[in-house]
């Protein structure tokens, strides 16, 4: 489920692209959340509580989770599937954060990757997961963040502990296996050389190798159109054709949509596999001040937009993050 890449060009041009792969329609919509919103980690009695410091634009899933987005400081967060995830036993002494709100917590609270990693290292709260909405399996997810400097971090729960991979070199993330093993596998493909041969299947490790070669081969530029088009071309190259899924491997599924987040210019680009147009949201043209309305752009019913769709958003009641029993 999904591929994520980070591109660093000239003069501070940084763009993060991702594909969302899932076997069924996700009923996604786009949302703009202002700063000053009161939030709840939705884990029962001892839930993490916070007030958003920054406004953001996100793409939802099933109207129960923020899966992808960017805040007004250019911090980007992306939620992807990781079958090897093993969460710790719930520690009731720590405030809990439902995994459905993990992306939103990052966007609400941090301006840079450094800031986020330093805070998370304090181990002051606990991310808590539960079954997927259909009850079929545990939501086993890992999180990537990137910022306007091109810095990156990846958060994975393995063996009941949180591991953080933090480096500007960690530009690519897919799914299985865990990130340390992905890096090791990619070293092999580097030795082969991408101009000679690249693995072509839709398996996560093969997508990682292709994405890693192409994102590092892109010529540096500060031209927004070229940079965004380049990142989209890499993400399309690692997408899974529509209608393809592998039941025993949920991380190999149809690409439902793709996004590119321009952290320099605060432009959030969106492309659905079912509509022909790419459109974008300009955070600099939105009211993110405290008390401003929550805004929604509906795409779940096949609505089609093109170009700058910022003015197409409409006031709406925010969705509620799906909770986890405390």
Element containing residue 120 per DSSP (H, E): helix 113-120
Instruction: Tell me how far apart the alpha carbons of residues 279 and 309 are, in angstroms, rounded to a whole number.
Output: 6
**Contacts of residue 78, Cβ cutoff 8 Å, sequence gap at least 6:** 2, 4, 16, 18, 67, 68, 103, 143, 144, 145, 173
Q: How far apart are CA 87 and CA 141, in angstroms?
A: 10
Round the CA-based radius of gyration of the chain to a whole number and report it.
18
What CA–CA distances, in Å, run from 51 to 143, 166, 292? 21, 26, 14
Exposure string over 38-70, b if 16+ CB within 10 A, otherwise e: ebebbbeebbbebebbbbbbbbbbbbbbbbbbb
Q: Which residue has the tokens 């489920």?
A: 1
Active site residue 2: yes
Choice among 1, 2, 116, 211 that is catalytic: 2
Q: Name the nearest CA neighbour of 277 among 263, 294, 257.
A: 257
Show the CA angle centred on residue 287, arms to residues 10 and 107, nearest 5°. 60
Give the closest residue to 252 by CA, choosing from 179, 175, 155: 175
Enzyme catalytic residues: 2
């Amino acid at each position: 489920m999904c591929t994520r890449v980070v591109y660093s060009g000239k003069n501070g041009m940084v763009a993060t692209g991702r594909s969302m792969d899932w076997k069924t329609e996700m009923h996604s919509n786009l949302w703009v959340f202002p700063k000053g919103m009161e939030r709840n980690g939705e884990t029962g009695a001892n839930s993490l509580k916070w007030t958003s410091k920054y406004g953001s634009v996100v793409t939802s899933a099933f109207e129960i989770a923020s899966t992808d987005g960017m805040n007004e400081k250019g911090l980007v967060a992306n939620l992807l599937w990781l079958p090897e995830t093993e969460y710790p036993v719930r520690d009731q002494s720590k405030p809990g954060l439902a995994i459905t709100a993990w992306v939103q917590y990052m966007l609400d609270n941090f301006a840079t990757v450094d800031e986020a990693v330093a805070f998370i290292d304090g181990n002051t709260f606990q991310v808590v997961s539960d079954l997927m909405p259909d009850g079929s399996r545990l939501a086993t997810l890992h999180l990537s963040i990137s910022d306007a400097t091109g810095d990156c971090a990846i958060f994975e729960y393995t063996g009941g502990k949180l591991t953080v991979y933090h480096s500007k070199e960690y530009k690519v993330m897919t799914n299985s296996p865990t990130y340390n093993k992905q890096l090791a596998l990619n070293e092999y493909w580097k030795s082969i050389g991408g101009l000679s041969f690249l693995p072509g299947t839709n398996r996560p490790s093969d997508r990682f190798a292709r994405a890693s070669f192409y994102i590092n081969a892109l010529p540096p530029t500060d031209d927004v159109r070229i940079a965004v088009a380049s990142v989209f071309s890499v993400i399309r190259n690692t997408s899974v054709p529509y209608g393809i899924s592998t039941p025993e491997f949920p991380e190999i599924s149809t690409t439902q949509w793709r996004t590119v987040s321009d952290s320099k210019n605060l432009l959030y680009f969106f492309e659905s596999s079912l509509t022909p147009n790419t459109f974008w949201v300009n955070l600099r043209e939105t009211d993110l001040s405290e008390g401003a309305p929550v805004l929604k752009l509906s795409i779940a019913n096949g609505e089609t937009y093109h170009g700058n769709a910022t003015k197409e958003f409409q006031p709406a009641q925010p969705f509620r993050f799906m909770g986890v029993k405390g």
